[in-house]
Amino acid sequence: MDKPLTGALRDDRRPLTLAEYRSAGGYRGLQQAIKNLDPEGVLQQVKDANLRGRGGAGFPTGIKWSFMPRGVGAPKPRYLICNADEMEPGTFKDRLLMEANPHLLIEGMAIAGYALGASIAFIFLRGEYTRAAAHLQRALQEAYDEGCLGSNILGGPFSMELYLHTSAGRYICGEETALINALEGRRANPRTKPPFPQVSGLFGQPTVVNNCETLCNLPAILAEGAAWYRALGRHEDAGTKLFAVTGNVRTPGLWELPMGTPIAEIFEQCAGGMAEGYRLRGFQPGGASTDFLLPQSLELAMDYDVIGKAGSRLGTGSLILLDDRTCPVAMVQNLTHFFAQESCGWCTPCRDGLPWAEQLLTEIDAGRGRPEDLDTLLDLCDQAGPGNTFCALAPGAAAPIQSALRLFREDFDAHIARGSCPYHD
Amino acid sequence: MPRIRIDGQAYEVKEGLNLLQACLGLGLNLPYFCWHPALGSVGACRQCALLQYRDEEDRQGRLVMGCMTAVADGQILSLKADKARHFRAGVIEALMTNHPHDCPVCEEGGECHLQDMTVMSGHHHRRYRGRKRTFVNQDLGPFINHEMNRCITCYRCLRFYRDYAGGEDLHALASRNHTYFGRASDGPLESEFAGNLVEVCPTGVFTDKPLSQSYTRKWDLQHAPSICVHCSLGCNISPGERYGRLKRVQNRYHHGINGYFLCDRGRFGFGHVNHPERPQQPLVRENGRLRPVAASEGLAELARRLETTERWIGIGSPRATLESNLALRELVGADHFFTGLGSHPNALNRALLELLRLPGVNTPSLREIEACDALLLLGEDITQSAPRMALSVRQAVRGAGRDRAAALNIPPWQAQSVQIAGQNARHPLFISHVTATRLDPIAEATYRASPQEQAALAFAVAHCLCPEAPAPEGLDEQAQSLAEKIAEALLHAKRPLIVTGPSSGALPLVEAAGQVARALLNARPAEACPPALIPVFAECNSLGLTLLTQDAAEADLEQAFALSEHGPVGAIILENDLFRRAPGPLVQGFLERLTQRIVIDSIPSPTLNAADLVLPATSFAESQGTLINNEGRAQPLFPVHALHAERRNSWQWLAAVAGHRALKGFASPADALATCVTAAPELAPLSQALPSAAHPFTRLAVPRMPHRNSGRTAAGANLDVREDQQPQDHDSCLTFSMEGAPAPWLSRQSGIGARLPFSWYPGWNSNQAVHKFKDAVDGPLRGGESGMRLDLVCRDNGWHRPLPVDTEAQGLLAVVQPAIFGGEELSNLAAPVFQRAALPCLRIHPDDAPAWSVADGDRVLVRGASAATELPLRVDPRVARGIALLPPTCPPLGTGPTRVSLRSLGSDPLIATDHPEPTDG
Amino acid sequence: MHLGPELSPLERQEIEAECAHYPERRAAAIEGLKVVQKHRGWVSDGSLQALAELLQMPVGELEGVATFYNLIFRQPVGRHVILLCDSVCCWIKGRDDLNRRLCQRLGIKPGETSADGQFTLLPTVCLGDCDRAPTLMIDHQQHGNLTPEKIDRLLDQLQAPGGEDG
Ligand SMILES: Cc1cc2nc3c(=O)[nH]c(=O)nc-3n(C[C@H](O)[C@H](O)[C@H](O)COP(=O)(O)O)c2cc1C
Ligand code: SF4
Ligand code: FES
């Protein structure tokens, strides 16, 4: 199988040097873009490849780019930002890419920058990824030294500066407009949309924010062509994706697989199924902010629309498994604690609603819940639902609560009826 | 005009609004918190949700935030749908999880937007069982209390304080449900607009500290539509009284002037009304001491003295109403009436008035200033002398950001996006002044020089614009290139503005301001928007007084002094402390020469102490009369509470005199106003304010107290169980009562806006009720606003010829720097304002220190032509060379432009301790 | 090395380098805070003030930034900062046991610094090491697949004389 993202990685996962990367076919995509295509041509390739954003929402990258004003009259400077904030629990895909093959990202960003006419680009890296930071910093130096960044990249007319910004830790920084505020040295509250960043983003200038993994797909698309890339997918969606499995499975981990791979295949073949003595109760298919699904959904193909239709989201493609020995109430409490704590504090349903939900879940888990608390929880989820809050953090927080109340209702009822947690005796 | 449907009802709404604005404009009750009419939308609270349907078939609808959704033709919406109602109640419920249940002891109670919205949204049952978060509060200085536990995190405070008013010391700290609004550490809020937080905060986080010292709920306060008397802008205010004490001042909406905001001097400067040393009843001098007497006796004394002395002069005042000044002039005769100002201030006022007369030049309101796109401030630090105007200037400068956003199709109410798209874009603001001003940080360029050099700069600007305007001589290269830059900016602006005022004390500077406007008019194409020019004046009725006396040949204080040297003369001094007007020795001599000294005033002063007869005047809060602001807008004042028998409007004392001096035409406020109408041709438009049969308000009773006032029956119960009769007000459409026309009825009457004592509407107890009295949220009060612009006669005096800058003069030129706190006479009597005043000191440029052998921190003797004073010295590189910058409380040291000499008296003990030690945490 | 409130030349140099990436100085606020923290372990009021001046922004504005982010410490921390993941994958894999062991060994509660000033224990959100859950991070080093016994060994190493730079 072709692996545009991880194919070149060394077995020991040490980062590829520029030379190693080159000999594995690196910087061919950038070469192709700069030597043989104009920016519009690159954009067209990306559209044709049907690349969808890997940051969670799956928005088509080519379309996102096309909202960026280009051409002679367009405002300058224009910015490109790689979103490598990766703080969603259960998600660690971007980390692998940056730690093990930093040049892949750099090349991807140079290609995107060329297509967008961005003269300045940033990698917004979460603060705890110190190893990734070190590897990227070294790779950036190499790339500058070898003319892959800076002025007249690969001898062409295109120039772009690429800087690494390391964050100081807040999940909300992953939200693209909050990220922009963070990059401007401000409090990371999200911004009003519209206007979208492509129109008025970093420092008010046109800006595109793409996920790290999204950008890492570009070198292969340019080098091998859109048709090749599309054909990698096993279902509707194109290309490959990094899928993770965590929880009580035999071998938790991260694998590059075609889009559309059935969940069961990832779960059984890659992760080796449940660990000894555990049974699968349910799972979150795309990270902590996605709705739970039941084991019968294992048949589904990991495609944006398929998972969407099943009532959840592909999200970051990181499966978090709930087993039969873990209390679903406590798990949801843990998830809600995360979201309540990471709320930026801008809008009411999130800022005040989530801590309340957390408090109720804590009470229920401790056996102090009341039957009517479940209605209150559902109300709070409704309040925090899509469109009701300023950004997508709160809906992401509501998703696991709401789906757990639906799918594992008997556990909630049992806690309340017994006045204690059934998993604890 | 988009047509939309809300709950089955069709409406036409204005293009470009958001749904919240549209709903409020239609009179619908849609609750909100983070949106504010002047601050725009940020979509934070999620309170203004309503349901939007895709089409006729759609039964589900989806929630949208009213404040974040633009109106569009054909929208189908519901406020009443269960889903929307339930969501809004849920938002309140979530906000309440952390909001304390302290309404009974909260000073916002009874006028709390959060209370109103809670009731409106229908949330009434508490489900939350957890703990509430608690915060430590800060000491924010003498104006504002801080109670962070009540915060609902709407970000309004920050958006007003930082984004709108340019304050740099209030911040959002921490995050999530621990977000804290405060300073980096305790200390007085620096912004001179901090007081607005009291009204901007929808709950009780920021409350009025002076009010809390003797607290009364809004529903127990008696109010009147009144005008601020602390500068010349004439901001509309709503003072509140209880038990004869003025308790607080709040903003009263005026579309053209103050909008939603006041400065802190206007809000907290009313202490003179309650001042313990304020004359309470007439005082008669006996054996060298002033003895209190009854009003009747005071009047008898007045009559007796008027009869016994032959010659009388009257000394008027720029802080007294038009009626009072006119009554005095009528009493003593125009030839014997003096303005109470020296010849120089009089000349400045007349020159400023000439600016208002310039043909073809627009006199902008503060609101119109906000739309200007190139601004020149000439020799007047409006941040100190006309603070509310500085707030408007800030909005004008920010306009560049709004323009940039508009180019990206971002509507102006989309506050956050406008700011991001606008970045630091600023319309050019040029500031020429003798020292730094608080607007300098947002200025494109500043020019710090003597008033003469500033005048030369302005004349050069005029010359650049129009070669016919004579060029000044000897301008240095730098100033010349600045002049060119300013001319360029003004010429190409859509709406250029020039501002000037009297503080620099330089007539040529005022004339030069007019010259720039005139040159601009010549230089710009005929179809261009006329240039705007606005003077500020020193006091609340400076312009009224100037209009009354502009044609008098001899109305200067010096002339009154001279007259007293020729034969015996008595003087009636009206609301004026002459020691602030002229050098002490001259005033002293004058007062001693007078055979009679009658002083009518509402505040204690050295002049009053020298009187033979004192008649206590009403303060603004008890006065009925007219003030004319800097734009030439005449505005009425109404008494907040019924007159205390011993205090009267100054004109009422004079009108009550019997005998051959008896005054005609001052029988009532209406009569006095009618007399003003005929006093000068330009005052004729005042007749619009006269009660007439056609006037709807003559028959109306507008209550001064909100509906729920408990004072009617309980106020005097501790003294006598019999109910006092409500005082009657025969002189206006207002009543001293909570009874009268109900607010919903009033809200539908056109023209009532100008007469609203307070804003209240059923369900809207906070000041946000004001929407109910408007047709559009961003529009004026229904049917017009308080006051009317006078029709000033246009006059073109041709080009002024610049005078050469005098380089030979000896000594430093004295310039008095106005100060928002600690300068103006009345507000200086208010303790919280006085606390915010800086230590008075003299400032000079470092280069000027050696010549006088003085150094920073010295106590120096400052000697002018007619008087001397001692002050601590600060050497300050921001002060122009050759200038002695005097504090606003400094008594006059000479008449007219004064040069001073300095002598060191050794180091000053006060200022030596003024340097804080650097600390590290 | 004791650093006074004023920024050292090295700190200034590092901060200036970051400022160069942005059109306005204040944009380097977060980098600035991190530089200061790197050199001093935490950000004191004095260094906050000094940094605000260097970045030409009001100190309160910088405080607003500093208190927004999880990894900026406005209070002194121990010599070693232990970030123990408390998110879902680590929780499923028993991070609560690790927490108990750490608290017990160090004699502190989460959020506190040990009496000897050596360790600060902070709960933290997902460290992105979920396939090796439960995990923690000490002084920027990640450690995965932990058990209470491994915790003991880790602490032993750090507490051994001269053992901190393992
Ligand atoms: C609360 C929140 C956190 C997010 N965190 C991340 C993140 O860590 N990394 C990421 O790439 N996208 C994250 N996103 C999605 C981004 O907002 C954005 O959609 C994405 O970076 C776009 O990149 P893409 O088009 O390449 O997917 C987050 C969104 C929300 C609402
Ligand atoms: S949903 Fe609201 S409070 Fe929560 S992170 Fe987004 S904007 Fe902030
Ligand atoms: S007023 Fe609309 S969200 Fe706050």
* CATH (domain of B384): 3.40.228
> CATH says C9-68 is which class?
mainly alpha
Q: Whose CA is nearest to atom 1 of ligand 1?
A: A393
Q: SS in 3 state form for C78-96?
A: CCEEEEEECCHHHHHCCHH
Question: CA B113 → CA B108, B121, B255, distances in Å?
Answer: 9, 12, 21
> Nearest-CA neighbor of B811 among B896, B899, B873?
B899
Interface test with B, best of C44, C45, C125 (most B CBs within 10 A): C45
Helices (H), chain C: 9-19, 29-40, 45-55, 59-66, 88-92, 95-106, 148-159
pLDDT of residue A47: 98
Q: How crowded is residue C122: how many other Cβ atoms within 10 Å of its Cβ?
A: 19
Q: Residue C143 phi/psi, 5° resolution? A: -130, 125
Q: Residue B108 phi/psi, 5° resolution? A: -80, -20
Element (H, E) at A228: helix A226-232
- Cβ–Cβ of A128/C69 closer than 8 Å? no
Q: Is residue B907 part of a domain?
A: yes
Q: Distance between CA atoms of B398 and B391, rounded to whole angstroms?
A: 11
Average pLDDT over residues A263-292: 97
Q: What is the CA radius of gyration of chain B?
A: 28
Element (H, E) at A61: helix A61-66
Q: Distance between CA atoms of A35 and A37, rounded to whole angstroms?
A: 6
> Nearest-CA neighbor of B459 among B448, B474, B437?
B474
Q: Distance between CA atoms of B789 and B686, rounded to whole angstroms?
A: 9
Are B815 and B285 in contact, with CB atoms under 8 Å apart?
Answer: no
Q: Distance between CA atoms of B231 and B390, rounded to whole angstroms?
A: 13
pLDDT of residue C163: 52
Q: Strand order in B633-637's β-sheet?
A: B625-628, B633-637, B788-789
Q: Is residue A8 part of a domain?
A: no
Ligand 3 close to Cβ of residue B388 (< 6 A): no
The whole-chain average pLDDT of chain A stands at: 97
Q: How far is CA A276 from the centre of its chain?
A: 30
* CATH (domain of A408): 1.20.1440.230
Distance from CA of A176 to the nearest CA of B (A): 15
Helices (H), B432-552: 451-465, 477-492, 507-523, 542-549
Ligand 1 close to Cβ of residue A211 (< 6 A): yes
Q: Is residue B505 part of a domain?
A: yes
Beta strands in B646-696 (DSSP E): none
Q: How far is the CA of B83 from the centre of ligand 2 (A)?
A: 21
Q: Chains with 3 or more CB pairs closer than 8 angstroms to A?
A: B, C
Average pLDDT over residues A125-153: 97
pLDDT of residue B737: 86
The 8-class DSSP code of residue B491 comes to H
Q: Which of A232, A259, A278 is the last residue of a domain?
A: A232
Distance from CA of C143 to the nearest CA of B (A): 29
Q: Are residues A184 and A316 in the same domain?
A: no
Ligand nearest the Cα of residue A387 is 2
Q: Is residue B201 part of a domain?
A: no
User: Which letter, b or e, does each residue of B605-622 get, where b requires 16 or more Cβ atoms within 10 Å of its Cβ?
Assistant: bebbebbbbbbbbbbbbb
Q: Within an 8 Å CB–CB cutoff, is residue C27 touching chain B?
A: no
**Low-confidence spans in chain B with pLDDT less than 50:** 914-921
Q: Is residue B35 part of a domain?
A: yes
Q: Are residues A29 and A175 in the same domain?
A: yes
Q: How crowded is residue B189: how many other Cβ atoms within 10 Å of its Cβ?
A: 25
pLDDT of residue B920: 38
Residue ranges matching CATH 3.40.30.10 in chain C: 80-165
pLDDT of residue B919: 38
Helices (H), B166-291: 197-200, 209-212, 264-268
Among chain B, residues having any CB pair with chain A shorter than 8 Å are: 42-47, 49, 62-64, 68, 87, 90-91, 94-95, 97-98, 127-130, 152-153, 155, 172, 174-179, 404-405, 408-410, 414, 416-417, 420-423
Q: Which of B80, B102, B120 is the last residue of a domain?
A: B80
The tens digit of pLDDT for each residue in B523-580 reads 999 999 999 999 999 999 999 999 999 988 889 999 999 999 999 999 999 999 999 9
Q: Distance between CA atoms of B842 and B864, rounded to whole angstroms?
A: 13
Question: Which atom of ligand 3 is least distant from the CA of B45?
Answer: 4
Record the tokens describing residue B215, joined without a space: 């607290």
- Cβ–Cβ of C88/A167 closer than 8 Å? no
Q: Which of A209, A232, A255 is the last residue of a domain?
A: A232
Q: Are residues A34 and A110 in the same domain?
A: yes
Interface test with C, best of A128, A140, A423 (most C CBs within 10 A): A128
Q: Which of B511, B538, B565 is the last residue of a domain?
A: B538
**Low-confidence spans in chain C with pLDDT less than 50:** 1, 164-166
Hey, which residues 400-429 in chain B have their CB within 8 Å of chain C?
Answer: 424
Q: How far is the CA of A318 from the centre of ligand 2 (A)?
A: 23
Q: Is residue A4 part of a domain?
A: no
Distance from CA of B182 to the nearest CA of C (A): 9
Q: Is residue A11 part of a domain?
A: no
User: Which letter, b or e, does each residue of B143-173 get, where b requires 16 or more Cβ atoms within 10 Å of its Cβ?
Assistant: bbbbbbbbbbbbbbbbbbbbbbbbbebbbbb
Q: Is residue A177 part of a domain?
A: yes
Q: Is residue A63 part of a domain?
A: yes
Q: Chains with 3 or more CB pairs closer than 8 angstroms to B?
A: A, C
Question: CA B188 → CA B141, B263, B291, B828, distances in Å?
Answer: 4, 15, 42, 18
Q: Within an 8 Å CB–CB cutoff, is residue C124 touching chain A?
A: yes
Q: Are residues A60 and A101 in the same domain?
A: yes
The 8-class DSSP code of residue B218 comes to G
- Cβ–Cβ of A130/C140 closer than 8 Å? yes
- Cβ–Cβ of B184/C59 closer than 8 Å? yes
Q: Whose CA is nearest to atom 6 of ligand 2?
A: A391
Distance from CA of C129 to the nearest CA of A (A): 6
Q: Distance between CA atoms of A266 and A264, rounded to whole angstroms?
A: 5
* CATH (domain of B50): 3.10.20.740
- Cβ–Cβ of C68/B920 closer than 8 Å? no
Longest dimension (CA), chain C: 50
Instruction: Name the residue among C27, C88, C131 with its Cβ closest to that of A184.
Output: C27
Query: Nearest residue of A to residue B176 by CA position?
Result: A345
Q: Distance between CA atoms of B273 and B827, rounded to whole angstroms?
A: 10
Q: Does domain C80-165 have CATH number 3.40.30.10?
A: yes
- Cβ–Cβ of B173/C67 closer than 8 Å? yes
Q: Are residues A249 and A217 in the same domain?
A: no
The tens digit of pLDDT for each residue in A296-315 reads 999 999 999 999 999 999 99
Q: Which structural domain range is residue B76 located in?
A: 3-80
Q: Which structural domain range is residue A256 located in?
A: 240-323
Q: Are residues A116 and A258 in the same domain?
A: no
Q: How many residues are there in chain A?
A: 425
- Cβ–Cβ of A254/C128 closer than 8 Å? no
Specify the amino acid at residue A421: C
Give me the long-range contacts of A273-278 (CB less than 8 A, separation at least 24). Answer: A273/A249, A274/A248, A274/A249, A274/A250, A274/A321, A274/A323, A275/A248, A275/A249, A275/A250, A276/A250, A277/A325, A278/A248, A278/A323, A278/A324, A278/A325
Are B317 and B574 in contact, with CB atoms under 8 Å apart?
Answer: yes
pLDDT of residue B711: 56
* CATH (domain of A276): 3.10.20.600
**Cis upstream peptide for A77 (omega within 30°):** yes
Are B811 and B856 in contact, with CB atoms under 8 Å apart?
Answer: no
- Cβ–Cβ of A195/B417 closer than 8 Å? yes
Q: Are residues A47 and A195 in the same domain?
A: yes
Q: Is residue B371 part of a domain?
A: yes
Ligand nearest the Cα of residue B42 is 3
Q: Is residue A9 part of a domain?
A: no
Q: How does strand B180-182 pair with strand B76-78?
A: unpaired
Q: Are residues A363 and A300 in the same domain?
A: no
Q: Is residue A46 part of a domain?
A: yes
Q: Within an 8 Å CB–CB cutoff, is residue C137 touching chain A?
A: yes
Burial zone of B699 (CB within 10 Å; 0-12 exposed, 13-18 middle, 19+ buried): exposed
Q: SS in 3 state form for B325-350?
A: HHHHHHHHCHHHEECCCCHHHHHHHH
More confident call, A397 vs B738:
A397
Q: Within an 8 Å CB–CB cutoff, is residue C53 touching chain B?
A: no
Q: Which of B538, B560, B591 is the last residue of a domain?
A: B538
Q: Is residue B421 part of a domain?
A: yes
Record the tokens describing residue A125, joined without a space: 């890296």
Contacts of A342 in chain B (CB under 8 A): 176
Q: Distance between CA atoms of B697 and B690, rounded to whole angstroms?
A: 10
Residue ranges matching CATH 1.10.10 in chain C: 9-68
Record the tokens describing residue B778, joined without a space: 């961003």
Contacts of A188 in chain C (CB under 8 A): 68-69
Q: Within an 8 Å CB–CB cutoff, is residue B172 touching chain C?
A: yes
| Structure ipTM | 0.96
Ligand 1 close to Cβ of residue A57 (< 6 A): yes
Q: Are residues A75 and A204 in the same domain?
A: yes
Q: Distance between CA atoms of A176 and B169, rounded to whole angstroms?
A: 29
Q: Is residue A55 part of a domain?
A: yes
Q: How far is the CA of A392 from the centre of ligand 1 (A)?
A: 10
Overall number of domains in chain A: 3
The tens digit of pLDDT for each residue in C121-162 reads 999 999 999 999 999 999 989 999 999 999 999 999 998 876
Specify the amino acid at residue B869: T
